[in-house]
Structure 1
């Protein structure tokens, strides 16, 4: 039994067989093959090695002619390793004795080789580890025609991968994908957000999977604590199954809160809305008690589109579906496309050295006006169907916001000339997620209809931490005093100018921060649908006066660890089940 620790990004517990994906997002065949198919697997191996050897020899000849024989020796070294009879015999032995596929046998043997070389003191030999991994990639790529893409997962599994793109995660069917674990990734990557939306327990940034991990081996994914357990024994399985049953009963009890208001014990009314990525989630959000949609991440239409960008009609249909589901009396805040950084798209910019600080979100939209105007046309056309509101992401300067509003005004004028109806009094707001904007919140408040605080990026930019980089994940902390002081100033500026202010980042869905945010003056929360009952339970369990005392105490503390410890202790006193689940 092995235990690995990573970053918990989607709560819940899943138990099931491991399914490993390679770096191209294909399934590594991990099922046992029948004994009668073993000769076929060995034949596939020999054919692959022969074809790859010939291809490398040909490439070496071309390189030798172009840049000289010295460079070509690199290719020749790879060819010799591929033709090594000892390598073949080890792979064949695994196929014959363990009955596994050629893909899994190749991966297992070459990963073992790589690990051996990595552990050597001589740097020359350590470099051979990368050669082994390169050979692994080449062989698996050659066998790719026999592998199944992730969209074809048709049994209950725990998906294990180096990393996943948002597009790959979106394709998962929760009926079959019961848990997700990745070697890389950060706490608020959009892959993590999608896993939460799909309610699939997930852990990221767990580091390299052990080579002892076998195909179809039973694993436990503890998305509450960020723990993955490989080959758990019976007592451990029993403990987790009991814990899952107990917490499920508690969550079912929260369902009784659905039709009750989000109101503190001393009568302070709070608006509780939902964050969604897909139109289908709107119905689910209402079933959980959402009072509206506080954040519709429209970029997932682009990520799922088969063409470069969804057409105006495709977008209109998606936006109209959400408004019709929610009804005319509940607001829906549409965030315009937020592509770039960890959500690359083929119709955006070329690869950048630092995409987090590059051409993304509103910057990409303002540079690609045809794409931006197409989205705004679809949004405006749909606006007549309900209480639609538009929000621009990643605004860093007042001029940027004004430019975006000018583009919106141009599109309104075009629709008016064509006689196409739309809401002329459409509220327009901005994401407050860049420190430069937070510092200028008082000025922005004079020009916007509402703020929505995006803590995921706000924390990232304030603390200079890439939120998708697992190597610095421990530095990404919503409890940092600098972050909390920025939140206080944004909320104060909004309240002073009578501007609605919501918080839609992942911080809003964490129960330990609810009293603090209430105490700072926040009265609108937007969270993932599955978090709504939990946050409502906390709101209905505290008084506003107590929340203000919590905020006052937090603002006097100097470190994130002190703040987190204090907030967890306060939450444990109010609703112990939430903290017990985390501990």
Structure 2
């Protein structure tokens, strides 16, 4: 019987294949205590297992770093550090000596105590910080699993030895579970737990395989080997599809592959309208190796390099050298002639080990200490990143962008700090680029309203439509109860975008759109019609956008924008844009 489940789509595409269920619920421990004479032997077994687990974590870190860059590799660096921590080892050995626990039980007892404390703490922190605390608890369970595998001599079947690629289904996926994932072995994955910011979601995007997380309970309905479908566009998992469903998705998958082949032919062609107006297309990236994805999709550079992942899955904040090496990798991949816009840190205080004590003070995280506000309070973090950006800028066309600017004073503070860092580097005789372009995100209404004043301070604007929609309409984009209000085509949002674009024209500074809106073909004619000549999107969206641009005339785009701006509701505007896209590209507006 066909079963359907719905979750959070975190990586698009359609995959059809056999299910492989990964058990992430732990390993059964067969005995709890040993006789006193066996205690030295248990400690020896413990030390050997910990050393083997450290070696595994080190190997995983090196392999993942080589494949996907240091950001994902840092997950296993944190594991390596925790497993080698003398304090943890001493506490486990103490349990064995004092209670005659077996090595397995002592490991499980200590780590489960840690997990219980974290889960209790999660109930006392604000909702926005809860996911991060629970993620840390899950990673401790992963550490337990890695050690027990060596103590009990049990391991799962290596993915490389499978006879055919699979679709992985799991309660959740730990870093150790995903270390061997490649597009050759894993077609897609779906999990009962997780969110769109989990490391598994980020890995899916890096591998470019379809993925769904946060589905809820479904593993009781699958044992492995069944045919399953993962629709990463709509967030649908289908177990045992019937013939008609299978035929539909086979056709959809074939259409997507055909479209991908068609888009590949556009890679080296310019993004120019039918009447000869060039539109610069740039990529949004989070991991260093995604710079290659930009080149593969025909992007002209990186319009948004998110740097937050450098801070996640780590026991300490990243060093200047870690920042520098990540930026250097992107610049060297793209070449010195392609722009790289590096956005400074855009996270809340709850993501920092050094700031954990301030988490409980946050009552409304979206209006609290996050992004540039955090950086202006934690100057050590901010200056470390600024130093690395200035140094890396000597290697290519690097530009710096400040997020969530809401006042002119904030922007001026950022510029002052940047100048201070330049003076420090000059005094230390460290090479850096002094004249790199400075930009600001326009993602809160106050910034859009003050665009004419902000334009005096910067060389370019980048409109972050995700937050701009959220703050303009007072609708949390992650809250399903107000999802109907969150719409980038709302007239209020469009008026703010138009105002910013008009300021850019008057002040002769570049204006880019780097939110999800710029990656949707539906909105491309509207944005071009409003006067945008630069768009930045996820690399895999670049070919779709380019196809729309190459079938569009700027005069008809301007006419579409004029009509859209006269409509009164987001529903009316979306309906009108769909009609127009069907005319421009038949079949592309569904």
TM over 0.5: yes
Residue 546 (structure 1) aligns with: 556
Residue pair 1:167, 1:303 contacting (<8 A) in 2 also: no
What is the aligned residue count?
470
Task: After TM superposition, give the deviation of residue 167 of structure 1 in Å.
Answer: 13
183 and 214 in structure 1: CA distance in 2 versus 1, 3 angstrom threshold: closer
CA distance in 1, matches of 2:212, 2:255: 22
Provide closer, same or farther for how the CA distance between residues 553 and 401 of structure 1 changes in structure 2, counting only shifts above 3 A: same
Cα distance, 1:379–1:347 mapped onto 2, change above 3 Å: same
Q: Helix, strand or coil for the counterpart of 2:250?
A: helix
Where do 5+ consecutive residues of structure 1 fail to align?
30-40, 49-136
CA contact 1:262–1:272 (8 Å) conserved in 2: yes
Whether the 8 Å contact between 1:270 and 1:523 is mirrored in structure 2 is: yes
Question: Which residues in structure 2 correspond to 1:104-143 (within 5 Å)?
Answer: none
State the partner residue of 1:292: 301
Residue matched to 1:345: 352
Q: Which residue of 1 aligns with 2:24?
A: 27
Question: Does the alignment pair 1:252 with 2:261?
Answer: yes
Shift of 1:278: 1.4
Alpha-carbon shift at residue 297 of structure 1 (Å): 0.8
Which string of whole-angstrom CA distances, capped at 9 and with x for unpartnered residues, describes residues 494-530 of structure 1? 1221111111111111111100100111110111111
From the superposition, tell whether residues 530 and 336 of structure 1 become closer, same or farther in structure 2 (CA, over 3 Å). same
Offset of residue 381 of structure 1: 0.9
TM-score calculated relative to the size of structure 2: 0.71
Of 513-522 and 274-283, more deviation after overlay is shown by: 274-283
Residue of structure 2 in register with 1:395 after alignment: 405
- The correspondence of residues 106-185 of structure 1 with structure 2, limited to 5 A, is 156=165, 158=167, 173-181=182-190
Q: Which residue of 1 aligns with 2:329?
A: 321
Q: Secondary structure at the match of 2:432?
A: coil
Matched, 1:405 2:415: yes
Say if 2:577 is the partner of 1:567: yes
Listed one character per residue, the Cα deviations across residues 294-331 of structure 1 (whole Å, up to 9, x for unaligned) are 01111212225x44122111211121121122222211
Alpha-carbon distance in 2 for matches of 1:336, 1:184:
30
**1:234 Cα offset (Å):** 3.5
In structure 1, how many angstroms separate the alpha carbons of the residues matched to 2:230 and 2:552? Answer: 32
Measure, in 1, the Cα distance between the counterparts of 2:413 and 2:206: 32
Does 524-533 or 458-467 show the bigger shift? 458-467
Deviates more, 1:173-182 or 1:263-272: 173-182
Q: Distance in 1 between matches of 2:453 and 2:181?
A: 43
- Deviation, 1:142, is 13
SS at match of 2:401: strand
- Of residues 330, 338, 358, the one that matches 1:330 is 338
Shift of 1:291: 0.8
Q: Which moved more, 1:283-292 or 1:344-353?
A: 344-353
Residue 537 of structure 2 is matched in structure 1 by: 527
Secondary structure of the residue aligned to 1:295 is strand
Instruction: Map Cα deviations across residues 366-421 of structure 1 (whole Å, 9 max, x no partner).
Output: 11111111111111111111111100111111111111111111100000111122
CA–CA separation in structure 2 for the residues paired with 1:471 and 1:209: 22
CA 15–28 in structure 1, closer or farther in 2 if over 3 Å, else same: farther
Change (3 A) 1:149 1:270: farther
Q: State the distance in 2 between where 1:477 and 1:187 align.
A: 19
Measured after TM superposition, the shift of residue 337 of structure 1 is 1.3
Q: What secondary structure, in the 3-state scheme, does the structure 2 residue paired with 1:339 have?
A: coil
Show the counterpart of 1:14.
15
Could you give the per-residue CA deviations for residues 399-458 of structure 1, whole angstroms, max 9, x where no partner exists? 111111111111000001111221111111111111111121121111111111111111
In the TM superposition, what is the alpha-carbon distance from 1:178 to its structure 2 partner?
3.4
Cα separation, partners in 2 of 1:455 and 1:275, compared to 1, 3 Å: same
What residue number does 2:248 align with?
Answer: 239
| Matched ranges for 1:251-290 at <5 A | 251-290=260-299
Give CA deviations for 1:12-32 in whole Å, capped at 9, x if unaligned.
1022455678xxxx8247xxx
Cα distance in 2 for partners of 1:331, 1:283 equals 14
Q: Which residue of 2 aligns with 1:4?
A: 5
| Shift of residue 489, structure 1, vs aligned partner | 1.3
Aligned twin of 1:479? 489
**Offset from partner CA, 1:63-103 (integer Å, 9 cap, x none):** xxxxxxxxxxxxxxxxxxxxxxxxxxxxxxxxxxxxxxxxx
Alpha-carbon spacing, 1:418–1:175, altered in 2? closer, same or farther (3 Å): same
Gaps of 5+ in 2: 33-137
CA distance in 1, matches of 2:335, 2:371: 28
Q: 2:382 aligns with which of 372, 375, 379?
A: 372
- TM, length-normalised to structure 1: 0.72
1:489 and 2:486 correspond: no
Aligned-residue Cα RMSD (Å) equals: 3.5
Structure 1 residue aligned with 2:449: 439
Q: CA deviation at 1:157?
A: 5.0
